[in-house]
């Protein structure tokens, strides 16, 4: 359930970003105003994008609240501070001593000679 809502939440976030970027700024931003000649007038497109932005924003806020409620229900009554306090009360475990130099060598194969070969000169 939480994964489905999270997926919808992420899709809404991307749609909201896209719709906001499609909107024309009030000041005509960098002189890139849209020309006429489209099926929809500039004012009609702005109204449609504004309404779509509101719909996506409300849906995004609803999924945010739903995810928060679900996360709070899963958390139960325990706190992170309680978990830190429980770790401090636990007895310390001993760490193993550092291995000696011979332990750092890789194991020899079963058919390896016991003595290293002598160099022939």
Using a cut of 0.95, tell me whether the model's pTM lies above it.
no
Res. 39: pLDDT tops 60: no
Report percent pLDDT > 70 for the chain.
53
Q: Which letter, b or e, does each residue of 47-80 get, where b requires 16 or more Cβ atoms within 10 Å of its Cβ?
A: eeeeebbeebeebbeebeebeeeeeeeeeeeeee
What would the mean pLDDT of 38-60 be, rounded to a whole number?
A: 79
What would the mean pLDDT of 84-105 be, rounded to a whole number?
A: 64
Give CA–CA dist 88/82, Å, rounded: 10
Confidence of residue 31 (pLDDT cuts 50, 70, 90): very low
Radius of gyration of the chain (CA): 33
List Cα–Cα distances, 83 to 52, 72, 92, in angstroms: 44, 16, 16
Give CA–CA dist 73/80, Å, rounded: 15
Quote the pLDDT of residue 76.
Answer: 72
Res. 25: pLDDT tops 90: no
How high is the mean pLDDT of the chain? Answer: 76
Q: In angstroms, how far is CA 102 from the centroid of its own chain?
A: 44
Helix (H, G, I), strand (E, B) or coil at 51: helix
What would the mean pLDDT of 94-99 be, rounded to a whole number?
A: 62
Quote the pLDDT of residue 82.
Answer: 74
| Dihedral angle of Cα 48, 51, 53, 57, to the nearest 10 degrees | -160
What would the mean pLDDT of 69-87 be, rounded to a whole number?
A: 76
How does DSSP classify residue 108?
Answer: P
Report percent pLDDT > 90 for the chain.
31
């Amino acid at each position: 359930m939480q994964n489905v809502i999270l997926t919808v939440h992420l899709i809404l976030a991307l749609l909201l970003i896209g719709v906001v970027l499609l909107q024309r700024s009030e000041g005509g931003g960098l002189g890139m105003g849209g020309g006429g000649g489209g099926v929809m007038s500039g004012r009609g497109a702005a109204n449609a994008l504004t309404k779509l932005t509101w719909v996506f924003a409300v849906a995004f806020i609803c999924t945010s609240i739903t995810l928060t409620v679900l996360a709070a229900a899963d958390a139960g009554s325990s706190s992170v501070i309680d978990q830190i306090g429980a770790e401090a009360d636990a007895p310390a475990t001993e760490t193993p001593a550092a291995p000696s130099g011979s332990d750092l060598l890789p194991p020899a194969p079963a058919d390896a000679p016991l003595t290293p070969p002598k160099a022939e000169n």
